[in-house]
Amino acid sequence: MKRIVAILSGLIASLAWATSDDTNTVLERLKSPASVCVIGDPCAENIGKASVVAAARTGDQVYNAACAGCHVSGAAGAPKIGDAGAWAPRLDKGMDTLVKHVVKGYNAMPARGLCTDCSDQEIADAVAYMVDAL
């Protein structure tokens, strides 16, 4: 029993000694890997440089990906593509208003037609694609 107590006492003492010597090592391991880079620092050489941007989608690509779900079936009163009668009152307000209603949402039309990653230009192109189909 005395031997076990002596071993445990020695182990505890060595852990306490190791901990005090390794404090800096432990603190280094606990540091966040994140860093802040400020313009003017050497790490900031790429700040503000243009990054690669995906090419804009065409009107028919946006239509097929985001608009067709409602505009083929007429869901929630959406004017069907090619239905001139359904589109006429909307077109009477002008393309700018029509695009604005798509971007901001209007009546049952959700904002951006739920295409959250579509640019305003892509939406305008999709609207033009549907109007051209009349």
More confident position, 7 or 45? 45
Say which amino acid occupies 80: K
Indicate if the pLDDT at residue 84 is higher than 80: yes
**Domain ranges within the chain, ordered by starting residue:** 2-44, 59-132
Report the C-alpha gap between 134 and 129 in whole angstroms. 9
pLDDT category at 38 given cuts 50, 70, 90 is: confident
We find that the CATH architecture of domain 59-132 is: Orthogonal Bundle (1.10)
Q: How many CA atoms lie within 13 A of 106 on its CB side?
A: 10
Q: Identify the pLDDT of residue 43.
A: 77
Instruction: Record the pTM.
Output: 0.61
